[in-house]
Structure formats: C-alpha cells, structure tokens
Chain A
Amino acid sequence: MQALTAASHSGDAVERGPARPAGQLPATLTVVGFVALGLLALPIVGLLQRAPWTALPSLLGESAVLEALRVSLVVSVSAAAACVVLGLPLAIVLARRRLRFPRIVRAVVMLPMVLPPVVAGTALLFALGRRGLVGQWLEEWFGVSLPFTTAGSVVAAAFVALPFFVVTVEAALRQAGDELDEAAATLGAGAWATLAHVTLPTIRPALAAGTALAWARALGEFGATLTFAGNFPGRTRTLPLETYLALERNPEAAVAISLVLMAVALAVLVTLRDRWMPR
C-alpha cells in the first residue's frame, strides 16, 4: 500500500518503474490464466495421447486420405497463389493510396476473418453460384460454373485466406514507409522498377509470412468449402472434410489426419517466428 501511495505521488513512476513483483498479482488471476492455457493445450495433448503412432503410416496411406491430401495441396497452393496475385495490389492500394472511405474498405477486407465460414460459403453461393449475382454471367458468357468444382474450393479457400495476406503485407508496407521509394525515384527508378527493386525486397519477410499464413488458413478451410464447393472425393474433398467424415467411419484415421494438419500448422508458426524476427 505504501509503495502505491508513493508511486502515485511521484506522477508516472508506476509506468517507468520496473515490473511489479509477482507477489502483487492477485492469485485468482494467475490461476485463471493457467486454466486458459490448459484449455488451449488440452486438445493437443488429447490428440497426441490418442495418436495411433504405429498404425500411422498405413492410416495415412489409405487411398481416400491420399486423394484428399492431393486435393488439399492443389486447393491450398492455388488459393495461396491467388492471395499473392490479388492481395499484393490490394495491400499496396490500402497502404499507399488515400481512400475515400478507409474504414468501410478496411472492414470489407477484414470481414472474412470474423465471418462464420458457413456464412462465407453461403454468400459465395449467392454471388458466384449458377444463379448468383455474377455466377449467372460466368455461366452464360464463359460456360464456367464454380460451385462443386475444385476451382470453387480454391475460390472459397482464397476468400477466407486473403485477409491474412493483405493485413500482414499492408502492415509491413506502412512500417517501411515510402522514404526508400522516394530515394529510388530520385535515382531514376520508375514506379514498376521501384516496386520490383526496392519496395518488395524491403518487405520480403512479410510477403513470406503473409503467404504462409494464407496457405495455412486455406489448408484448414472447412465451412466455406463444404457450403460452396461441396464434398466430392477427388474434386473438393480436402483433408479437413476427410477428417470430419473419417470421424464416423474410422476415428483413428481422423486422429492421424488431424496430427498431420496440426504438425503443418505448428511448422508454419515456427517458420513465421523466424521470418518475423529481424536478422
């Protein structure tokens, strides 16, 4: 109590002083904090504890799993590529242009991050489905129909993954500022040369991180894919869909696939940590 009074007398001494000794933290807070940590860690432990380690190779070698793995790789890599191609210009516009309604634009960009994936899938269906807003013209003019195709899975995965790439890259662009771009201009570099030789190399770690995040999100996509692209083996049945189905048929296979997906997610996190830290 005495320390607190003294601190408040000397203005901002509380903020500037060293961190409080742990003894001053309410004990309840610490306990609840560790309960929360347990909530996060428990499912991982549960999965590891149920892991059929010896049967793992044969479970993962099942043709249905291999098929889903192939679809998942095609879909997630294509979606990540789409995120880079579409997301990079969007991130640059967001970071460098003065927009009319920045809050609204930003909300639109972030929406897929908080939208329930099933809602995202439904929305996609009404926009790009056969009788959707744009979908009917795609069908009529190009004979293209997205729902229930691999391309549809890619669209669904890209839709939910895009904000992860855009937000990461935009933050890096803002942090880098346009000082180096100006320097490049005074040295005779036009807009494209500046982008290629200065801007993008400067934010390379963020480009890698954004791509990895978007890919990981696309790999795990379930709800939007199921709603918009369906569940057709060899075409739209990805690993998460296969996991869900396997849970009824063969729980051990579900655990095996889950382990693989979790290992991938952890690997992405570890690489990101390396990429994020400036060398």
Chain B
Amino acid sequence: MTVSFDGRVARSGWTLRVDGLDIDEGVTAVIGANGTGKTTLGRAVAGLDRLADGRLEIAGSVADDPAASVFVPAHRRRVAMVFQDLRLFGHLRVIDNVAFGLRRAGADRAGARRQAGALLERVGVDSAAWPRRPAALSGGQRQRVAIARALAPEPEVLIVDEPLASVDSSGRAQLRSLLGDSPARHVILITHDPVDVATLAERVVVLDGGAVASRGSAAEVTASPGCEWAATFLGANVVPGRAHGTSVTTEGGLVLAVAEEAAGAVYVTFPAHAVTLHRDRPAGSARNAWQAELRRVDVDGERARVHLGGPVAVKADVTRRSADELDLRPGLTIWASLKATEVTVVT
C-alpha cells in the first residue's frame, strides 16, 4: 500500500509541484525550510487542498484527479492530521475531543469514550484531565490529546505537522515511541527536528522551493540532500546516550561534556561543522576530544563531509582545503574534538 502523489497544488502566489512521489508504509519524514510546501503536501493528502492537476492515490484508490473530476472529500479519506496549531475543539471535553472521530464513525457515546480513554492513557494524559476542556491543559498535554484524537478513528494515513514542537521534554521519548509504532500504516512526519528524522523516519522526502529536492532512506538523502538547507539539517549528528549532570555517556562508552544538565536517556545533537579534526591530540578549550577511525570522506564542492567510526559514529564537515592539509583518507586514526557549548541535549 502506498500514497502516490503526482501533480500540482496551486496556492495564491506559488505552486507545489510533486512529480511521482510514492510514500510507502511506515514513517516518512518530510523536511525542508519554511515555506517550501511541507504543510501544503500534507493538506493535499488530507483533502484540505485540491490538486490543480495530476493525480493522488491513497492505498490503491484515487483520492484526487481533476482531469477525471474525482475528488474524495477529506472526511471520506481516512487521513488524519495533527495540526501544527493543534486545533482542539474548545467546546468539548478532552475525552470527547478524542472520541469525536469514533462518534462520527458511528460508535455510541459510551463505547467511543471507552476507546478514547484507552488512547489517552497510551499517550500519557492523566484521567484527571479527561473531563476538562483543552484550554485548561498545558501545551504538552494538549499536543498529546491532539495525537490521540487523530489516532482514534484508525486512519490509513496519519499526517503529523511539527509533532513535538510544544511537548515538554519528558514526554518526547514517549510520544516518539507512540508515533513509531502508530497503528496508521502510513505516517507522514513534517518536521524540523533532526532527532525525529534520526529516530523515527524510515524514509525522508526533502522539499525545496515547492518541489521534491531529494527522497530515499535517511542515508541516501544524507548522501545527496538536494539543497543547502537539507545538507545542513541532515548533517546534524544525533547520538543516543545517558546523561548524568553535565556529562553524557554515549552507547559507545564515550563521555561527552555538555552545557546543560540532564538525567536519564537522552539524545545529544550537534551540527557536523561543530566537530573539528586534528592529527594530534588537541589542546585548548574543547573538553570533548576522542580518537576515531576515519571511514569515508564525501567531497561536495568546497565542503568535505567526513564520516567517523570508533566510539561513536559522527559526521564532521571540514573545508576541502583542510581535508587536503590533514591528508584525510579512510582507515586513518584521527582526533576529533567538540565544544560542549555546541551540543544540544534532547530528552
């Protein structure tokens, strides 16, 4: 089963053009700078925006085909959406927000509330909050309610627009695992967070200027990102580890000093250009230095992306000139260093 998208969506002033994009089952991350058409892509799949021309198929049936005058309205598509601005129903209790889709599908009130309660428990919304209105909840709690509401009618496709933006850090891991084994067969994840891409996405679609710039597995897209924005975005290192105070022990046993305090399972992220390479043990302010095995060097114009193995798999961006000066080649053992202030800890 796939969602296949081939066509144009015209918005006032600009156009999203998608040529033959097949979105397979599983989690697909859609990334791109602001205003490149990520949300429009999601809205077109959901049936909130119409194609100007072309064809959209969801799980084998045509959802939108202007030439054939076919347009399946949003409420018949089994495509649910978690909106960036959540859009919870302010006049309904939390439990009835989640029960909404079930009621529309014909469930009776008691049955719908029972299922809604089970879902709210799964996303981690305490039962004390169920009879309250969404406005009385914290931003993070509201986000969980929105995810539960979208999952409730068991959609074929779940579109999540900037999913974890407002979730408190303690809940992110839980929500990630929830999206990871979502009952929806297709999850389209519109995101700005490299951790989402690294931990959830089986495939990545890069949008740039209203068109698909790159697509494929995370590794494929990282190798050829198709635009500068995505190159930087995908160049971010995401390393799992355990935090204790201001240090994080990675899975490979490397201890990294970080600027923020944290505890428990975390991800540390840092951009590829924050990693510097040295032939000899570096002296100076970078407290994080380790020896790594150089696996591969990808040269792209004036930039060289260096893939390091060793205690932790890391990407480092250096200029082509310094790659030449350091005489970087696979198999070399080299020193890497990283300033603590460049590291972001994501819980």
> Are the C-beta atoms of A202 and B90 separated by less than 8 Å?
yes
Known A-B contacts A179-B83, A179-B85, A193-B104; the reply to A185 vs B47 at CB < 8 A is yes
Please state if B73 and A187 are interface contacts (CB–CB under 8 Å). no
Interchain CB contact (< 8 A) of B48 among A180, A182, A188, A193: A182
C-beta contact mask, A187-231 vs B, less than 8 Å → 1, else 0? 111100110011001101000000000000000000000000000
State in angstroms the CA–CA spacing of A185 and B155 once bound together: 13
B91 CB to closest chain A CB (Å) equals 4
Contact present for B75 and A183 (CB under 8 Å): no
Q: Which 7 A-B pairs have the closest CB atoms?
A: A185-B74, A187-B101, A183-B87, A188-B104, A201-B91, A186-B81, A185-B75
B68 within 8 A of A: no
Tell me if A188 and B153 are in contact (CB < 8 A).
yes
For the complex, count residues of B whose C-beta is within 8 A of A: 28
Q: A179-B87, A182-B87, A202-B90 are in contact. Are A188 and B46 (CB under 8 A)?
A: no
- Does A184 sit at the interface, judged by CB under 8 A? yes
Select one of A186, A190, A193 contacting B80, CB under 8 A: A186
- Within 35-78 of B, Cβ neighbours of A (below 8 Å) are at 46-48, 73-78
| Choice from B74, B92, B105 contacting A186 with Cβ under 8 Å | B74
Question: What's the nearest-Cβ distance from chain B to residue A278, in Å?
Answer: 10
How far apart are B42's CB and chain A's nearest CB, in angstroms? 10
- The verdict on B150 contacting chain A, using a C-beta distance below 8 Å, is yes
B91 in contact with A202 (CB, 8 Å):
yes
Complex interface: chain A residues within 8 A of B75 (CB): 184-190, 193-194
Q: Which residues of B lie under 8 Å from residue A197 when comparing CB positions?
A: 100
List chain A residues, Cβ under 8 A from B90: 202
In the docked arrangement, what's the CA distance between A187 and B46, Å?
10
A201 to B101, CA, bound (A): 17
Q: How many Å lie between the Cα of A47 and that of B201 in the bound state?
A: 75
Cβ-defined contact, B74 with A182, below 8 A: yes
Known A-B contacts A179-B83, A182-B48, A183-B81; the reply to A188 vs B91 at CB < 8 A is no
Bound-complex Cα distance A186 to B45 (A) = 10
Nearest CB of A to B198, in Å? 28
Query: B79 interface residue, CB < 8 Å from A?
Result: yes
* Residues 162-188 (chain A) with a chain B CB within 8 angstroms: 179-180, 182-188
- A185 partner residues in chain B, CB cutoff 8 A: 47-48, 73-75
Chain A residues near B152: list those with CB within 8 A: 187
In the complex, chain A residues whose CB is within 8 Å of the CB of B88: 183
Q: List residues of B whose CB falls within 8 A of some A CB.
A: 46-48, 73-81, 83, 85, 87-92, 100-101, 104-105, 149-150, 152-153
Known: A179-B85, A198-B89, A201-B91. A184 touches B79 (CB 8 A): no
B79 to chain A, nearest CB (A): 6
Once bound together, how far apart are the Cα atoms of A183 and B79, in whole Å? 11
Interface string of A119-138 (1 = CB under 8 A from B): 00000000000000000000
User: What's the nearest-Cβ distance from chain B to residue A275, in Å?
Assistant: 14
**Bound Cα distance A184, B73 (Å):** 12
Determine if A204 and B47 form an interchain contact, defined as CB atoms under 8 angstroms apart.
Answer: no
Kindly provide the distance from the CB of B149 to the nearest chain A CB, expressed in whole angstroms: 7
Please name all residues of chain B whose beta carbon is closer than 8 Å to the beta carbon of A202 when the two chains form the complex.
89-91
Instruction: Note all chain B residues with C-beta closer than 8 A to A198.
Output: 89
Residue of A nearest to B103 (CB): A197
Bound Cα distance from A204 to B81, whole angstroms: 26
Other-chain contact of B100, A189, A190, A204 (Cβ < 8 Å): A189
Contact residues in B for A193 (Cβ distance below 8 Å): 75, 104
CB-based contact B87/A187 at 8 Å = no
**B153 neighbours in A (Cβ, 8 Å):** 187-188
Chain A minimum-CB-distance residue to B152: A187
* Most chain B Cβ neighbours within 10 Å, of A188, A201, A202: A188
Which residues of A lie under 8 Å from residue B46 when comparing CB positions? 186
Which has the most chain B C-beta neighbours within 10 Å: A182, A183, A186, A202?
A186
| 1/0 contact string of A142-180 vs chain B (CB within 8 Å) | 000000000000000000000000000000000000011
What residues on B are CB-neighbors of A194 within 8 Å? 75
Q: A179-B87, A201-B91, A202-B91 are in contact. Are A186 and B79 (CB under 8 A)?
A: yes
Q: A198: nearest residue on chain B (CB-CB)? A: B89
Whole-angstrom distance from the CB of B95 to the nearest CB of chain A? 15
Interface pair B101/A180, CB less than 8 Å apart:
no
CB closest residue in chain A, given B146: A183
30 contacts between A and B (CB under 8 A): A179-B85, A182-B48, A182-B83, A182-B87, A183-B81, A183-B89, A184-B89, A184-B100, A185-B48, A185-B75, A186-B46, A186-B48, A186-B75, A186-B77, A186-B79, A187-B80, A187-B100, A187-B104, A187-B149, A188-B76, A188-B78, A188-B105, A189-B100, A189-B101, A190-B104, A201-B89, A201-B92, A202-B89, A202-B91, A204-B91
Residues of B contacting A204 in the complex (Cβ-Cβ under 8 angstroms): 91
Chain A residue, CB-CB nearest to B81: A186
